């Protein structure tokens, strides 16, 4: 489960980085920056929903603050 979450975070950060690269290269002339940021938002929402569903199904358990 931890691996899935780490992979999702890496994909989110990669999408954010690609948006920055597109912003610097295109100077706002194309929609590639918007598409990369939309992908980042979609991945973030999917990760959030995945964590909620995993908790409801009992795949993950809260451990509290230690």
Q: What is the pTM of this model?
A: 0.82
Q: What share of the chain is helix, strand, coil (3-state, %, to 5)?
A: 75, 0, 25
Average pLDDT over all residues of the chain? 92
Q: What is the pLDDT of residue 27?
A: 81
Task: Decide: 22 and 30 in contact? Cβ < 8 Å.
Answer: yes
* Mean pLDDT in residue range 33-52: 95
Mind listing the pLDDT tens digit for each residue in 5-37?
999 999 999 999 999 999 999 887 889 999 999
């Amino acid at each position: 489960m931890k691996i899935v979450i780490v992979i999702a975070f890496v994909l989110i950060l990669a999408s954010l980085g690609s948006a920055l690269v597109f912003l610097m290269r295109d100077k706002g002339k194309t929609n590639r920056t918007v598409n990369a940021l939309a992908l980042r938002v979609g991945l973030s929402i999917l990760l959030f929903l995945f964590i909620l569903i995993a908790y409801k199904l009992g795949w993950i358990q809260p451990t509290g603050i230690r």
